Amino acid sequence: MWSRTWRSSLGHTLAEKILLAHCDGDDVRRGKVVMVRCDVVMANDVSGPIAFRAMEKMGAAKVFDPARVVMVADHFAPAKDARTAELLKRMQDWADEQGVTFYGQGRGGIEHTLLCEEGWIVPGSVIAAGDSHTCTYGALGAFGTGLGSTDIAACLTFGEFWQTVPGTIRVEFTGEKQQFVTGKDLILAVIGEIGVGGATNCALEFVGDGAAALSIDERLAVSNMAVEAGAETGFFNADEKTAEYLADRTDRPWQPDESDPDAEFDRELVIDLSELPPLIALPHLPGNVVPVEEAAGTKIDQVYIGNCSNGTMTDLRQTAQVLRGHRVHPGCRMIVVPATQSIYRQALAEGLLDLFVEAGAMVSTPTCGACFGGHMGVLAAGERAITTTNRNFRGRMGSPEAEVHLANAYVAAAAAVAGAIVHPAEVASGVAA
Question: What are the C-alpha distances in Å from 413 to residues 302, 324, 422, 428?
Answer: 11, 10, 10, 10
65 lines the binding site for other proteins (CB under 8 A): no
Stretch that binds other proteins, among 13-21, 208-216, 256-264, 390-398 (CB under 8 A): 390-398
176 lines the binding site for other proteins (CB under 8 A): no
164 lines the binding site for other proteins (CB under 8 A): yes
Binding mask 32-51 for other proteins (x = CB under 8 A): xx------------xx-xx-
234 lines the binding site for other proteins (CB under 8 A): no
Stretch that binds other proteins, among 156-164, 295-303, 314-322, 333-341 (CB under 8 A): 156-164
How many residues bind other proteins, per CB under 8 A? Answer: 53
Q: Provide the β-strand partners of residue 420.
A: 299
Position among 213, 285, 290, 296 found at the interface with other proteins (CB under 8 A): 285
Instruction: Convert the chain into a string of H (helix), E (strand) and C (coil).
Output: CHHHHHHHCCECCHHHHHHHHCCCCCCCCCCCEEEEECCEEEEECCHHHHHHHHHHHHCCCCCCCHHHEEEECCCCCCCCCHHHHHHHHHHHHHHHHHCCEEECCCCCECHHHHHHHCCCCCCCCEEEECCHHHHHHHHHCCEEEECCHHHHHHHHHHCEEEEECCEEEEEEEECCCCCCCCHHHHHHHHHHHHCCCCCCCEEEEEECHHHHCCCHHHHHHHHHHHHHHCCCCEEECCCHHHHHHHHCCCCCCCCCCCCCCCECCCEEEEEEHHHCCCEEECCCCCCCEEEHHHHCCCECCEEEECCCCCCCHHHHHHHHHHHCCCCCCCCCEEEECCCEHHHHHHHHHCCHHHHHHHCCCEECCCCCHHHHCCCCCCECCCCEEEECCCCCCCCCCECCCCEEEECCHHHHHHHHHHCECCCHHHCCCCCCC
Using alpha carbons only, give the angle 108, 233, 200 rounded to the nearest 5 degrees: 135
In terms of DSSP bridges, do strands 234-236 and 267-272 run parallel, antiparallel, or are they unpaired? unpaired
Tell me the closest approach of the beta carbon of residue 216 to other proteins, in angstroms. 24
Stretch that binds other proteins, among 72-80, 267-275, 319-327, 411-419 (CB under 8 A): 72-80
Tell me the closest approach of the beta carbon of residue 159 to other proteins, in angstroms. 12
130 lines the binding site for other proteins (CB under 8 A): yes
232 vs 403 by CB, closer to other proteins: 232
342 lines the binding site for other proteins (CB under 8 A): no
245 lines the binding site for other proteins (CB under 8 A): no
78 lines the binding site for other proteins (CB under 8 A): no
65 vs 426 by CB, closer to other proteins: 65
378 lines the binding site for other proteins (CB under 8 A): yes
60 vs 362 by CB, closer to other proteins: 60
Stretch that binds other proteins, among 17-25, 64-72, 194-202, 350-358 (CB under 8 A): 194-202
29 vs 327 by CB, closer to other proteins: 29
Asked if 346 and 364 touch (Cβ cutoff 8 Å), the reply is no
25 lines the binding site for other proteins (CB under 8 A): no
Tell me the closest approach of the beta carbon of residue 210 to other proteins, in angstroms. 27
Binding mask 89-118 for other proteins (x = CB under 8 A): ------------------------------
53 lines the binding site for other proteins (CB under 8 A): yes
431 lines the binding site for other proteins (CB under 8 A): no
162 lines the binding site for other proteins (CB under 8 A): yes
Chain residues that interact with other proteins, rule: CB under 8 A: 31-33, 46-47, 49-50, 53-54, 57-60, 75-76, 80-81, 83-84, 87, 130-132, 146-151, 153-154, 157-158, 162, 164, 196-197, 200-201, 230, 232, 285, 372-374, 378, 391, 393-396, 398, 400
